Amino acid sequence: MKLATFKNGTRDGQLLVVARDLSVAADASIIAPNLRCAIENWTDAEPPLQELYRALNAGAVAGAFPLEVSRLHAPLPRTWQWLDASAFHSHGDLLEKVFGSTPPPQKRTVPLVYQGAGDDFLGPVDDQPLPSEADGMDFEAEVAIIVDRVPMGTRATQASSHIKLVMILNDTSLRVRAMHELRTGFGFGQCKPATSFGPVAVTVDELGPGGWRDGRVQLPIHVHWNGREFGHPHCGAMGFSFEQLIEHNATTRNLSAGTVIGSGTISNENFREVGSACIAERRGIELLDHGAPRTEFMKFGDTVRIEIFDSAGRTIFGAIDQRYVRASAA
């Protein structure tokens, strides 16, 4: 099943069911007004949403309409917790080497996760407004899950039933600000502006045969910067599964229904062959190879495109395709 959120003027938007090939959509607000309500009442909402999805794919929904991605919010325009991991070891290992920094304690056994702002997500083709190029603007291509309510103390072995939907996202990062914030120990604030999500959230079966295994998306993510391929690292290389990330995050707290948990920048050990999903990683490689980074961070007007295809080459989530622009004054 694929779900999207139409910009109807409300903060939570209007729930749509979207056909598998993303050609058409149907209003689902009679089932749940928005995805936040649907995920908070998933047991009741899922069966009729699935039924509508089957009918839509069969061309049997009166009032189905062509999907216009520009009119979509993030699938969840806002949510209660946004927890983003850094679960790809090749990414962390590289950056430690580059910066000569101390490896985080227990880095192979305890996930790194920061708590982000979940209140103001951007749609798949919304502009990304930012105050200054001097902040070191970067993209980060990631995958994420949406969970229903996870009680405190839930273990990884109990966690997979809480994974309801999967998304792709662009976790925009301001690298100059990140360097400062990393040193404070207090986590990421100013360096993490609004996060953008792909057009649709999908149930794991939509990833196709073998597309979801071991609590991981088992497909490459394709990243283009200003129209040129930047990388296509494989999402299956996650050092921790999403079930492990759920256990980690629910150790001392409940996770409300609608909590979004991200993978961190997709990264592979063979980054020289497959490329990267963020500029910081490419700059790290250049620093190792040439003694200095050669690739600059983003400029206003730059675009990034992020997409995942199934084994038959069909887009699963549609594309994130964003332009970075200068924010207007408050």
* The two structure tokens encoding residue 170: 């662009």
Residue closer to its own copies by CB (options 183, 228) is: 183
Q: Which part of the chain contacts its own copies (CB under 8 A), choosing from 45-53, 97-105, 271-279, 291-299? A: 97-105
Q: List, as one string, the DSSP characters of 6-63.
A: E--SSSS-EEEEE-TTSSEEEE-TTT-SSHHHHHHTHHHHHHHHHHHHHHHHTT--TT
Per CB under 8 A, 324 contacts its own copies: no
List 47, 104, 210, 301, residue binding its own copies (CB under 8 A): 104
Q: How far apart are CA 14 and CA 30, in angstroms?
A: 10
User: Which neighbouring-strand residues pair with 165?
Assistant: 146
List 63, 66, 100, 185, residue binding its own copies (CB under 8 A): 185
Per CB under 8 A, 250 contacts its own copies: yes
Residue 96 CB, shortest distance to its own copies, in Å, is 11
List 43, 106, 109, 157, residue binding its own copies (CB under 8 A): 106
Question: Based on the number of CB atoms within 10 Å of its own CB, is 115 exposed (0-12), middle (13-18) or buried (19 or more)?
Answer: middle
Per CB under 8 A, 87 contacts its own copies: no
Residue closer to its own copies by CB (options 251, 270) is: 251
Q: List, as one string, the DSSP characters of 117-133.
A: --S--B-TT--EEES-G
Residue closer to its own copies by CB (options 24, 117) is: 117
In the region spanning residues 187 to 226, those forming contacts with its own copies, defined by CB under 8 A, are: 187-194
Q: How far apart are CA 167 and CA 169, in angstroms?
A: 7
In the complex, the residues that contact its own copies under the rule CB under 8 A are 11, 40, 78, 80-81, 83, 86, 102, 104-106, 110, 112-120, 129-131, 135, 151-155, 158, 174, 177, 180-194, 248-256, 259, 327, 329-330
